[in-house]
Amino acid sequence: MTSRSLAFIGTGIMGRPMTLNLLKAGYSVAVYNKSKPPLEELGKAGAEVCGSTAEAASKADIIITCLPDSPDVEDVALGPDGILKGAKEGALYIDMSTISPAVSKKVAAALRGKSVRMLDAPVSGGDVGAREGTLSIMVGGEPADFEEAVPVFEAMGKTIVHVGENVGDGGYVKIANQIMVGLHIAAMSEALVLGSKAGVDPEKMMAALSGGLAQSRVLDLRGPNLVRGEFPAGFRIRLHRKDLRLAMEAGADLGVPIPATGQLYQMFTALLTAGRGELDHSGYATLIEDLAGHKVSGGV
């Protein structure tokens, strides 16, 4: 059993399996989440269930959050019953959410006043990577803090990269990741709908594409959703749209033109307007299917 005590706040689709992997690695983990069902499962697995963020934070040397958006992180970190209230002096806070780098910097500055250190460490790999402990983790912050956190990261991920010495650097890399993943999903959707409408078996098409330069993790992990016509939430459309909004904001702030991302953001907005925000992001294909008048699963 490792001597480092952890707290994990935000035990949803990603956070729940990440916490389970920390428990399997021998960590003592205090947990808090707004919705109770994940806490019941984690409690049975050996986690200490807490009644608030501050209570969980008070029990930990290292505090981890995995939350939907920037306001959630700001509230959990700096709110009246949050990490700032509960954390011990000298604790390390690791935010594994995908949020605005500017908010990460704001939170880090506020916590620094209580001698709480911070890393921003967003992840990629989706629910599958979270369950299997194979996430890619991109980390921004002080090198010494990163080294301290590496054993914790190793319980949750496979590719762990210290991308920069500033809190927020991890967020910029994650934004870049979400641009690329979104564009891969868009390309896959257009390609498979086109081939399928031409009469090509989509499974055979995937097999052919997977053997060449078009191969990607997106095709391997999300292509089967299109073939089945089922898009169970792994990473929801509404959350990917949020990440693309962060990309648009970062592009504007930094003076970087990202026209393809802009078009992608508008398509994700159309999906949200159509009531499909809870679908997995591979459900982007449903919009292409609508425009083409053809479904990959079963034809028109």
Catalytic residue flag (residue 106): no
The Cα–Cα gap between 171 and 112 comes to: 19
CA 59 vs. chain centroid, Å, equals 25
Q: How far is CA 150 from CA 101, 105, 138, 229, 237, in A?
A: 21, 21, 11, 39, 31
List the structure tokens of 108.
């880090």
CA nearest neighbour of 133 among 23, 32, 7: 23
List the structure tokens of 45.
């697995």
Count of Cβ atoms closer than 10 Å to residue 115 Cβ: 11
Q: Are 17 and 130 in contact (CB under 8 A)?
A: yes
The catalytic position among 174, 197, 204, 242 is: 174
Q: Are 98 and 12 in contact (CB under 8 A)?
A: no
List the structure tokens of 165.
């010495």
Catalytic annotation, residues: 174
